[in-house]
Amino acid sequence: MTAAFARLQSAESSLLTQLVDDAGVDWLLELAPVRSPSPVINAPRHRMLLGEDGWVWPFRCMPATLPFADEDLPAIMIRHLFWLPTGFPILRDALRCLKPGGLLISVSANPWHRVSWSELGRDAFRLPAWPRFLMQHAGLGLQLQIPVRHHWEGVVPGITPVLIVVARKPARAIRIRRPDFRRKRISIGTAPASNCRAA
């Protein structure tokens, strides 16, 4: 992937700034390639950068597993990792780390747009197009929250240079036990002694 990412970044920032503000997240984890400049968003974030040999910043480890506990993170943004073979496994592991009801934002360049071709060259061949990009997320049981306008812009080739999927991990259902009125419960206890006497 080339370092000249300026036009994609400006399109991405214009979409993500309002989107993250509207989501109301306290902070998010951003997963991105080393050469991709970070978009302008107002929410506090922590970044993890992926190089050719795995995660290279702020620490080094292999890309297979993220170093976070299950259901630990409130929001995750995955940017421009879907052109790599490890992109989909990273998405699956990010869902493991995301809290129930947590926000997931996935960003990829649109392979059907001329800006992607001028910025990425032949690497644009490896990018998922909108139907496949959407199905990768829908197949994981996420609650997709895509604005209708952006959905159709992604489907029609050449309209938008950036594809964005916004989703939430389903909240865990609370288990409520039904009361069983047929079963009698007898509680045996001692009543406290009273000093009161009837007059």
pLDDT score, position 105 = 93
Domain for residue 118, yes or no?
yes
Question: What's the confidence (pLDDT) of residue 3?
Answer: 41
- Report residue 14 CA to chain centroid gap: 19
Q: Say what the pLDDT of residue 50 is.
A: 92
Would residue 98 count as lying in a domain? yes
Range of the domain at 44: 6-168
Q: What is the pTM of this model?
A: 0.79
- Asked if 121 and 73 touch (Cβ cutoff 8 Å), the reply is no
User: Within a domain: residue 178?
Assistant: no
In a domain, 129, yes or no: yes
Q: Are 75 and 133 in contact (CB under 8 A)?
A: no
The string of pLDDT tens digits covering residues 58-108 is 888 888 788 899 999 999 999 988 888 888 899 999 999 999 999 999 998
Residue 174 within a domain: no
In 3-state terms the chain splits into helix, strand, coil percentages (rounded to 5) of 30, 25, 45
| Torsion (CA) 42, 98, 135, 40 in degrees, nearest 10 | 10
Residue 160 lies in a domain: yes
User: What is the domain count for the chain?
Assistant: 1
Burial of 145 (C-beta count, 10 Å sphere; 0-12/13-18/19+) = middle
What pLDDT score was predicted for residue 1? 43
| pLDDT reported for residue 184 | 63
Domain with 80 in it: what CATH number?
3.40.50.150
How many CB atoms are located within 10 Å of the residue 10 CB? 15
Q: Does residue 24 sit within a domain? A: yes
**What pLDDT is stored for residue 4 in this prediction?**
45
Residue at 181 is within a domain: no
In the chain (199 residues long), the average pLDDT of successive 10-residue segments reads 61 83 88 85 91 88 86 94 86 94 91 80 81 88 72 64 90 73 62 57
